[in-house]
Amino acid sequence: MSVVETTRHGEVTVRDLSKSFTLNGQRLPVLRDLQLDVRSGEALAIVGPSGCGKTTLLRVLAGLESPDKGEVLIDGHPVLGVGTERAIIFQEPRLLPWLTVLGNVAFGLEVRGTSRAEAETRARHYIRLVGLAEFESAFPRQLSGGMAQRVGIARALTVQPEILLLDEPLGALDAMTKLTMQEELARIWREEKVTMILVTHDLEEAIYLADRVLVLPKEKGAGPRLMEVNLARPRDRNEAQFVQMRRRLMAEFGLH
C-alpha cells in the first residue's frame, strides 16, 4: 500500500518562535515562544500596537530575519531565508522609477530568467487583475499612491507565490482609496487562492479581510490571542455582526 502525501500549498507553521533585539546594550525581547498555524489559502491578519513586533514577525516569515529560537515551516519544510513561494509587500511599493508599470511588474520574472515575452504576458495578466490595464506604459511618477501600491501588488503576484506577506500595505493611502483597495485585496485573495498574512493597525481592515485575527499584545506578559472572523463574504462593514466583531477586537486593546 502506498502512502500518498496530501499536497499542501502555502501552509505556514510557527513553532516556539522567539526573537529579541539588542538596543543600546539592552536586550529587548520582541516575540516570545510564539505558536501559529496558518492554513493553506487562509487570510490571517496580525494586529497590535506600534512596536509589538508585527513587522519583526513578518520579516521572520519572509526569511529576512532569523529567529533566536524556534522555527518557521512552509508546507512542513523549515524556512532558511527568502524563497520564491513567498512574496512580501511593504507600505511603500518601491517601484523602479526608470521602468514602466509593465517593466516593473515583469521585472521579478525577468531576473529569474523568464524570457521577456513570457514575463510581459504574465505581467499583463496581473496588471489587468489590479485594474491598471490602461496604465501599463506609465512611469511610477505618473501614478497616484493607490495606483503605485496596486503595481506593487501585481508585481508580487506575477511571480505566483503561494504566500503573500503584507506589511500595512494600505497604511499610506487616503481613507477612500483604502476602502477600495480593501475590496480589491479581498477579491484578489479569493481569485488567486493564496495564503495571505496581513499586518495592519486598522482593526476594521483586519475584520474585513481575514478568516482569523492574531492579536499581539503590547505588554510582554500577556500572550497573543487568535480571533475567528465567522462572517459571510463579501463582508459588509455596516452589518450588525461586523460591528459587533469590531467592538470585540477593539476591546482587546481597551478601546471603545
Ligand X SMILES: Nc1ncnc2c1ncn2[C@@H]1O[C@H](COP(=O)(O)OP(=O)(O)O)[C@@H](O)[C@H]1O
User: Using CB distances below 5 to 8 A depending on partner kind, what does residue 50 bind out of ligand X, Mg ion, none?
Assistant: ligand X
Least distance (Å) between residue 172 CB and ligand X: 14
User: In the set 11, 12, 14, 56, which binds ligand X (CB under 6 A)?
Assistant: 56
Region for residue 10 given its phi and psi (left: phi exceeds 0; alpha: psi -120 to 50; beta: otherwise): left
User: In the set 10, 34, 43, 55, which binds ligand X (CB under 6 A)?
Assistant: 55
Q: Three-state DSSP class for 90?
A: coil
51 lies in the binding site for ligand X (CB under 6 A): yes
26 lies in the binding site for ligand X (CB under 6 A): no
Least distance (Å) between residue 21 CB and ligand X: 3
Span 70-129, contacts to ligand X by CB under 6 A: none
Q: What b-and-e string marks burial along 194-225, b requiring 16 or more CB atoms within 10 Å of the CB?
A: bbbbbbbebbbbbbbbbbbbbbbbeeeeeebe
Least distance (Å) between residue 118 CB and ligand X: 37
**Number of residues that make up the chain:** 256
Residues that bind Mg ion (CB under 5 A): 54-55
Sheet with 12-23: strands ordered across: 26-38, 12-23, 69-74, 77-78
Least distance (Å) between residue 26 CB and ligand X: 10
Rounded Cα distance between 80 and 75, Å, is 13
Rounded Cα distance between 121 and 32, Å, is 44
Q: Give the pairing type, strands 225-228 and 212-215.
A: antiparallel
52 lies in the binding site for ligand X (CB under 6 A): yes
53 lies in the binding site for ligand X (CB under 6 A): yes
Least distance (Å) between residue 166 CB and Mg ion: 11
Task: State the cell numbers at 134.
Answer: 490602461
Q: Which residues contact ligand X by CB under 6 A? A: 21, 23, 28, 30, 48, 50-56
